[in-house]
Copies of this chain bind each other. A is one copy, B any other.
Amino acid sequence: MSFNSFGHMFRMTTFGESHGAAIGCVVDGCPPGIPLRAEDIQAHLDKRRPGQSRFTTQRREPDEVKILSGVFEDERTNGQVTTGTPIALLIGNVDQRSKDYAEIRDKFRPGHADYTYQAKYGVRDYRGGGRSSARETAARVAAGAIARKVIPGVTVRGALVQLGPHMIDRTNWDWGEVDRNPFFTPDAHAAAEWEVYLDGVRKRGSSCGAVIEVVASGVPAGWGAPIYAKLDQDIAAAMMSINAVKGVEIGLGFAAAAASGEDNADQIRMRHGKPEFLSNHAGGILGGISTGQEIVVRFAVKPTSSILANRQTVTAQGEDADISTKGRHDPCVGIRAVPVGEAMLAIVLADHFLMHRGQVG
């Protein structure tokens, strides 16, 4: 049992509040001997870092990571490697304009966790959302950077496939495009249209949701396990644990409900001496175990509730009130969820790689 840990064997424990002293995580179970420097992690954090385009919050969060433990610079080897002991990562909080948050001390912001934290604990760090802030996802991205190194043969990539009501045209899919637009979308045409759309959302102080697709290539057949350590189960848990996520699907996902058995099941043929699936409606997972195809997962992010419009709420003292969020917020928090989704999938896969190796050898 663990409230703030994730993973079976490759296990991350995160801590920290948005405006506390620091956030961070402890990664336990990492294999030894893996080259790891802070720069390796920083590269991924920078992708999630706010303020990189006008479509993400303009808060200044350098998100500089320090490795406190679990690595060692051994002069007999070529540099710093993991030692098999817990890797503690620390990310300081610097842009703590706590005065900005005086109003939310007493009012519960609709769509945020203010009310539920107060109902559960009777006390909460209200500054910037405290523990419920999406700032916690920086720790996930940091741990995900380590996870990737545990499974070097696996590539994990994410992309925005829907912004608000607008979906991409999948025939335009180009992974190379993802890093060339501020949306992490693989459809250059959509990116162009979305700029206009999201500018409108941003200017009127509104927000919109998004759907992210994350794909892992290079996963061999056999990772995952019945019945309650299913690969898709752990992926669903991983994605649903991300702030603002309201839905997760694998492969065809909800569309599978409308398909026939004939159309849905992926047929198999021998190709070059080994079994090859003729389609991938399963999203690379059957019976909770990887098929050797690409793992394909999508998750839906709701629009942030931090918007300019006045919304009805109540105060901690039990009075009706209105609230409006001014200041620097993401018009679409789903954009920055792309590297977070990648990190979570990498963490699940690293975890299952180690578990599989443990049980099966």
A sample of 11 cross-chain residue pairs with beta-carbon separation below 8 angstroms, ordered by A number, consists of A1-B229, A9-B355, A83-B124, A83-B125, A85-B125, A85-B226, A113-B288, A132-B288, A262-B307, A269-B320, A357-B358
- In angstroms, Cα B118 to Cα A33, docked, is 11
A304 adjacent to chain B (CB < 8 Å):
yes
- Return the 9 tightest CB-CB contacts between A and B, nearest first: A113-B287, A358-B358, A111-B265, A247-B249, A207-B261, A1-B1, A116-B289, A209-B257, A236-B240
Chain B residue contacts of A318, Cβ below 8 A: 270, 273-275
Sorting the interface of chain A by its residue count into under 10, 10 to 19, 20 to 34 or 35 or more gives 35 or more
Chain B residue contacts of A173, Cβ below 8 A: none
Give, as a whole number of angstroms, the nearest-CB distance from A7 to chain B: 9
Task: Tell me the A21-78 residues at the B interface (CB within 8 Å).
Answer: 21-24, 26, 28-33, 66-70, 72, 74, 77
Q: Which of B20, B88, B268 contacts A314 (CB 8 A)?
A: B268
A11 adjacent to chain B (CB < 8 Å):
yes
- In angstroms, Cα B25 to Cα A227, docked, is 12
Task: Tell me the A309-341 residues at the B interface (CB within 8 Å).
Answer: 309, 311-314, 318-320, 334
Whether the pair A4, B227 counts as a contact (CB closer than 8 A) is yes
- In angstroms, Cα B227 to Cα A66, docked, is 22
Whether the pair B5, A1 counts as a contact (CB closer than 8 A) is no
Give, as a whole number of angstroms, the nearest-CB distance from A26 to chain B: 5
Total identical chains: 4
A156 adjacent to chain B (CB < 8 Å):
no
Chain B residue contacts of A210, Cβ below 8 A: 257
Q: Which of B221, B270, B314 contacts A270 (CB 8 A)?
A: B314
Q: Which of B72, B117, B211, B261 contacts A287 (CB 8 A)?
A: B117
Chain B residue contacts of A31, Cβ below 8 A: 359-361
Q: Would you give the 0/1 interface string for A2-17, flagging 1 where the beta carbon is closer than 8 Å to chain B? A: 1111101101011111
Whether the pair A286, B115 counts as a contact (CB closer than 8 A) is yes
- In angstroms, Cα B253 to Cα A211, docked, is 11
Give, as a whole number of angstroms, the nearest-CB distance from A184 to chain B: 15
Whether the pair B249, A300 counts as a contact (CB closer than 8 A) is yes
Task: Tell me the A265-317 residues at the B interface (CB within 8 Å).
Answer: 265-270, 273-275, 278, 281-283, 285-292, 300-307, 309, 311-314
- In angstroms, Cα B350 to Cα A358, docked, is 11
Whether the pair A246, B251 counts as a contact (CB closer than 8 A) is yes
Whether the pair A254, B265 counts as a contact (CB closer than 8 A) is no
Q: Which residue of B lies closest to A210 (CB)?
A: B257
Whether the pair A268, B108 counts as a contact (CB closer than 8 A) is yes
- In angstroms, Cα B261 to Cα A11, docked, is 34
| CB within 8 Å for A206 and B262 given contacts A21-B68, A130-B83, A246-B256 | yes
Whether the pair A84, B206 counts as a contact (CB closer than 8 A) is no
A148 adjacent to chain B (CB < 8 Å):
no
| CB within 8 Å for A4 and B86 given contacts A221-B116, A300-B256, A311-B265 | yes
Whether the pair B300, A130 counts as a contact (CB closer than 8 A) is no
Task: Tell me the A205-228 residues at the B interface (CB within 8 Å).
Answer: 206-211, 221-228
| CB within 8 Å for A32 and B360 given contacts A120-B221, A303-B256 | yes
Give, as a whole number of angstroms, the nearest-CB distance from A361 to chain B: 6
Whether the pair B116, A290 counts as a contact (CB closer than 8 A) is yes
- In angstroms, Cα B5 to Cα A230, docked, is 11
Whether the pair B209, A256 counts as a contact (CB closer than 8 A) is yes
Chain B residue contacts of A86, Cβ below 8 A: 3-4, 13-16
Whether the pair A70, B15 counts as a contact (CB closer than 8 A) is yes
